Structure 1
Amino acid sequence: MLTYTPGSTLVHRLDPRTKLAVQFAFALVAFTASTAPQLIGLFVVGLGSLRLAQLAVRAVLRAYWVVLLILALGPVLAAVTLGPPWLRLDPALVSLRSIARIVPILFVSAAYIHTTPIRETRAAIQRTIPGRPGQLLGVGVALTFRYVPVLRADLRSVRDAIRARNGDTRSLWERSQRLTVLLVDRALRRSDQLAIALQARCFAWNPTLPRLQFSRRDVPVWLLSIAFVVVAVVDLLGL
């Protein structure tokens, strides 16, 4: 599971609002890309972001392997038909082209998670979206980033406990039932602990967040974001 790792790379030193902007702009241009050169360019940008963040491609693939596996099934399912000729290549290529747009987005988002503290993400959201909606979104994103790794650790510990008690000798249905019940029980306990912790720490909707400030190094990234948006608009309008 990818989490924030302190560092001094260029991506670490960027303002989180800049990194969020380039993510959204890159996602926009990715979903409008259709030609092979455009898709290659998306991968170049995605791999370049990992390089600048000093994040190994192997670590990203290991973190997103479930997502990538599900995406890989898309072209296979698209190629299968219920009658002759049983397999069709054109739908598989269309599905593969769609999937090729998503992988670079995962690379860019992984670079963001690796280089941005959770509190800075919350500060960027709350200072970009005013009022209670921004506060609610900031809190939701912060809690998601903090508790997804915890829930994944609970999943591993429950699975190991079942195996230690020879649970893997049972049927797949029984194991799935047992795993689901235990995970739901742990998730409910975590929610109760979270509520008590928030009360104990006098949870506030508008806490003192980190101070954010743009610098000269953010300017080229903002220009890149604008260029992404322009390219996406040109593709959408067919100019």
Structure 2
Amino acid sequence: MTVAYVPGESPAHRLDARVKLLVQVGFAAAAYAHTTPRGLAVLTILAVGCVWAAGGTVHEMAWGFRWAAPVLLVAPIVAGATLGTPWFRLERALSTGLASYRVAIVLLVAGAYVRSTPVRESRAAIQRLVPGRAGRSLGIGISLVFRFLPLLRRELASARNALHSRCGDARSLPERMRIVAVAGLNRAFDRADRLALALNARCLAWNPTLPPAKFGRLDALATLLAAGLVLSALLPWV
């Protein structure tokens, strides 16, 4: 399971996509400005609140971003290890551990955004925030990435399962990796060709009609939250 959009009526689903992007930016700024355990504890409560507001659970988000867990867990050990005495520096490990935890809570907030925002609204938000041709290019790129990556992951998993069903476990690890990678690349190129053909057949709109923008009381509250997060990053409070 990966983090993906889930239709719903949660508070986050009712927010304007632009406001949710601002909250993400403010949260990331605050997380990188306040790196003490006390500051990260406050931000953890806020991150869990964002997940709850999107109608999800922390377990769901953590499982969706499980690919990042090995790096985040190993980083403090690598940072603390030394080649000579004392062999392990606890202060370095703690500092890197806090940085890894900071990345984890930022991913929680990002997952809440993905879960509560349709691809079409993400594209519209980017195009409204970034004017001109650059905004349209970014909007198209983001919409294609959101739609293409889950399919690519699914096809890689399908290739791996097919290899295992044919007694591929008997092969060496490098050989299994090569077979799955080649199969994944072939399917990705085939899907890209079909995507290009489909876009041409449907006369891809360079500047389509965007969904209507919405801004209500809930959006105003979320905007105040984003502004508060940015101010907290500029004015140390921990």
Q: TM-score, normalised by structure 1?
A: 0.96
Bigger drift between 219-228 and 76-85 goes to 76-85
The answer to whether the 8 Å contact 2:3/2:65 transfers is: no
1:215 paired with 2:219, answer no
CA deviation map 1:129-185 (0-9, x unaligned): 101110111111111111111011001100011111111101111111111111111
Q: Please give the alpha-carbon distance, in whole angstroms, between the structure 2 residues aligned to 1:180 and 1:149.
A: 16
Q: Partners in 1 of 2:228 and 2:61 — Cα distance?
A: 26
Residue 135 of structure 1 corresponds to which residue in structure 2?
136
Q: Match for residue 64 of structure 1? A: 65
Aligned-residue CA RMSD (Å):
1.3
Q: Equivalent residues in 2 for 1:1-239 (5 A)?
A: 1-235=2-236
Distance 1:234 1:22 in 2: 17
> Structure 1 stretches (4+) deviating beyond 2 angstroms?
none
Q: Which amino acid is the alignment partner of residue 107 of structure 2? A: L
Give the superposition deviation at 1:217.
Answer: 1.4
**Aligned residues between the structures:** 237
Deviations 1:186-238 (A, max 9, x none): 11111101101111110021111211121121111111111111111113xx9
Cα separation, 1, equivalents of 2:88 and 2:218: 51
Q: Is the 8 A contact 1:45 1:104 kept in 2?
A: no
Deviations 1:53-107 (A, max 9, x none): 1201111111111112211110011111112222221110110111121111111
Deviations 1:98-132 (A, max 9, x none): 11211111111111111111000100110111011
Q: Distance in 1 between the 2:112 and 2:181 partners?
A: 32
Gaps of 5+ in 1: none
Work out the percentage of aligned pairs sharing the same amino acid: 42
Distance in 1, matches of 2:102 and 2:155, equals 32
